[in-house]
Chain A
């Protein structure tokens, strides 16, 4: 299977703390993206990092990419209760389809 793997599978933190989740993938990629999903609803795109980039920021989000290790991490700083959701990495290669990881369930306690 080409599906990426994420760890941890679940993460529980307090409001104000930082949350870090990791993604490992198996193929060469053009870009890697992170999506958020609330309670089994639709996915919302958070951030995209291209294969020639090593780090990218967007608001409270920071993404890193290490193509030599085929891994990426998503850092959410100063987390809020509203950040409680499942987070998925997704990556694409030469084709147009995206392959999603297994997801990290983040719970932020108020």
Chain B
């Protein structure tokens, strides 16, 4: 049973560029959340997708956008990159309904460096 997978694992961009990060949720999960974790900090909630729609959003600017596909996989897009966007981006999945235990399953993350 594959867990949450994310790609790429590492990437380097320059200021002003755009980046797309990808996530495949754990088998059987239909809800994907994205978190940003700056060095030495706890993860910060970006947004959550369910049924291909953004259901909740944290305190992040519109430069951060996402998408969920019919197979439940998801993308995070960040436009006009700033130095402060350098962070580990974590994808987490869960099952919204049914036998939900409250636990989130995380991928290993995509580490973005903006130069």
A78 / chain B contacts, CB cutoff of 8 Å = none
- Which residue of chain B has the shortest Cβ distance to A9 in the bound complex? B40
How many residues on B have C-beta within 8 angstroms of the other chain's C-beta atoms? 29
- Are A102 and B48 within 8 A (Cβ)? no
- Are A48 and B44 within 8 A (Cβ)? no
- Are B96 and A45 within 8 A (Cβ)? no
Q: Which of A12-20, A36-44, A53-61 lines the interface with chain B?
A: A36-44
- Are A43 and B102 within 8 A (Cβ)? no
Given contacts A43-B106, A45-B104, A95-B56, contact A100 B42 (CB under 8 A): yes
Cross-chain pairs A/B with CB under 8 angstroms, 5 sampled: A4-B42, A40-B39, A90-B104, A96-B31, A102-B42
What residues of chain A have their CB less than 8 Å away from a CB belonging to chain B?
3-4, 30-31, 33, 35, 40-45, 48, 88, 90, 92, 95-103
